[in-house]
Amino acid sequence: MATTRLNQIIAVEKGVKAKAQADLASAHHGLQKPALLAGISRTYQAKDEEGEQLPPESTLVQVKAEDVLRDTAKSLTRLFDVTATKDWANCTARADVTVDGRVLVSQAPVAYLLFLEKQLTDIAGFVRKLPVLDAAESWSQDPSTDAWKTEPVRTVRTKKVPRNHVKAEATDKHPAQVEVYYEDIPVGYWTTVKFSGALPARRVNELLERVDKLQQAVKFAREEANSAEITDERVGDAVFGYLFG
Residues in the chain, overall count? 245
Residues 85 and 27 in one domain: yes
Distance CA 91, CA 110 (A): 8
Distance CA 228, CA 4 (A): 8
Sign of CA dihedral 29, 33, 38, 39: negative
Name the average pLDDT for the chain: 90
Does the residue 145 lie in any domain? no
Distance CA 200, CA 135 (A): 9
Residues 127 and 243 in one domain: no
Q: How does pLDDT run across 67-86, given as a tens digit for each residue?
A: 888 889 998 999 999 999 98
Percent of the chain with pLDDT over 90: 56
Does the residue 74 lie in any domain? yes
Does the residue 237 lie in any domain? yes
Does the residue 143 lie in any domain? no
Distance CA 122, CA 89 (A): 27
Which contiguous run of DSSP H or E holds residue 244? none
Residues 38 and 83 in one domain: yes
Amino acid in position 146: D
- For residue 9, pLDDT over 90 is answered with no
Short-list 124, 129, 108, 125, CA closest to 219: 108
Residues 59 and 158 in one domain: no
Helices (H), the chain: 6-31, 34-37, 65-92, 110-128, 201-226, 236-243
Q: How does pLDDT run across 156-186, given as a tens digit for each residue?
A: 999 999 888 877 777 777 787 888 888 999 9
Confidence bin at 5 (pLDDT 50/70/90): confident
Task: Note the Cα 85 to chain centre separation in Å.
Answer: 25
Residues 89 and 11 in one domain: yes
Q: How does pLDDT run across 188-204, given as a tens digit for each residue?
A: 999 999 999 999 999 99
- CB atoms under 10 Å from CB of 79, counted, come to 19
Distance CA 85, CA 59 (A): 45
Residues 75 and 176 in one domain: no
Does the residue 101 lie in any domain? yes
Residues 4 and 51 in one domain: yes
Residues 81 and 159 in one domain: no
Does the residue 60 lie in any domain? yes
In this prediction, residue 63 carries a pLDDT of 74
Residues 169 and 48 in one domain: no
**Coil, helix or strand at residue 54:** coil
Residues 6+ apart with CB under 8 A from 57: 40, 41, 42
Residues 6 and 77 in one domain: yes
Domain assignment of residue 178, given as a range:
152-192
CB distance 90 to 229 below 8 Å: no
Q: How does pLDDT run across 24-50, given as a tens digit for each residue?
A: 898 888 888 887 778 888 888 888 877
Q: Mean pLDDT over residues 80-102, rounded?
A: 92
Confidence bin at 137 (pLDDT 50/70/90): very high
Percent of the chain with pLDDT over 70: 99
Distance CA 111, CA 98 (A): 17
Overall domain count for the chain: 3
Q: How does pLDDT run across 44-67, given as a tens digit for each residue?
A: 888 887 788 889 888 887 778 888
Residues 103 and 88 in one domain: no
Q: How does pLDDT run across 204-236, given as a tens digit for each residue?
A: 999 999 999 999 999 999 999 988 888 888 999
Does the residue 142 lie in any domain? no
Residues 60 and 174 in one domain: no
Does the residue 146 lie in any domain? no
